[in-house]
Amino acid sequence: IVDRLRCDDTGRVPFSVEFTPPRDADGEARLWRTVREFERLRPAFVSMTYGAGGSTSDRTVRITGDLAEATTLLPVAHLTAVGHSIAELRSMVGSYADRGISNILVLRGDPPGAPLGEWTMHPEGVRYADELVRLVRDLGDFHVGVASFPEGHYRSPDLQHDTKYLVAKLRAGAEYSITQMFFDVEHYLRLRDRVAAFDPEQGAKPIIPELMPITSLGSVRRMVELSGSALPAELETALALAAGDGPVEDRAAVREIGIERATLMGERLIAEGVPALHFITLNFARATSEVLANLGLGATQPVRN
Ligand code: FAD
**Residue with the nearest Cα to atom 11 of ligand 1?**
162
pLDDT, position 58: 85
C-alpha span between 18 and 149 (Å, rounded):
17
Nearby residues of 265 by Cβ (< 8 Å), 6 or more positions away: 183, 185, 211
Please tell me the distance between residue 172's alpha carbon and the centre of ligand 1 in angstroms. Answer: 15
Q: What distance separates the 2 farthest-apart alpha carbons in the chain?
A: 55
The closest alpha carbon to 54, from 85, 95, 16, belongs to 85
The verdict on the CB of residue 20 being under 6 Å from ligand 1 is: no
What's residue 305's pLDDT?
36
pTM, two decimals, is 0.96
Q: Quote the distance between the C-alpha of residue 139 and its chain's center.
A: 23
List the end-to-end C-alpha distance of the chain, in Å, as a whole number. Answer: 21
Q: Which of 300, 291, 204 is nearest to 2 (CA)?
A: 204
Residue 49: what pLDDT? 95
Q: Which of 18, 151, 175, 210 is catalytic?
A: 18
Q: 216: CA distance to ligand 1 center in Å?
A: 26
Q: Under a CB-based contact definition with an 8 Å cutoff, are residues 210 and 218 in contact?
A: no
Distance 166 CA to ligand 1 centre (A): 9
pLDDT at 299: 77
How confident is the chain (305 residues) per 10-residue block, as mean pLDDT? Answer: 91 96 94 97 96 76 95 97 95 96 96 76 96 97 98 96 98 98 98 98 98 97 90 97 94 98 98 98 97 90 43
- Specify the amino acid at residue 59: R
Strands (E), the chain: 15-19, 45-48, 75-80, 103-107, 143-148, 176-181, 207-211, 277-280
Cβ(229) – ligand 1 distance below 6 Å: no
Instruction: Give the chain's length.
Output: 305
Residue 97 and residue 75: Cα distance in Å, rounded? 12
Which ipTM was obtained for this model?
A: 0.99
Residue 113, SS3 per DSSP:
coil
3-state secondary structure labels for all residues of 244-293: CCCCCCCHHHHHHHHHHHHHHHHHHHHHCCCCCEEEECCCCCHHHHHHHH
d(CA 94, CA 121): 22
18 assigned to active site = yes
Is the CB of 55 inside a 6 Å radius of any atom of ligand 1? Answer: no
CB of residue 71 inside a 6 A radius of ligand 1: no
Ligand 1 centroid, distance to 199 Cα (angstroms): 20
- CB of 86 within 8 A of CB of 124? yes
Cβ of 52 below 6 Å from ligand 1 = yes
What is the pLDDT at residue 56?
72
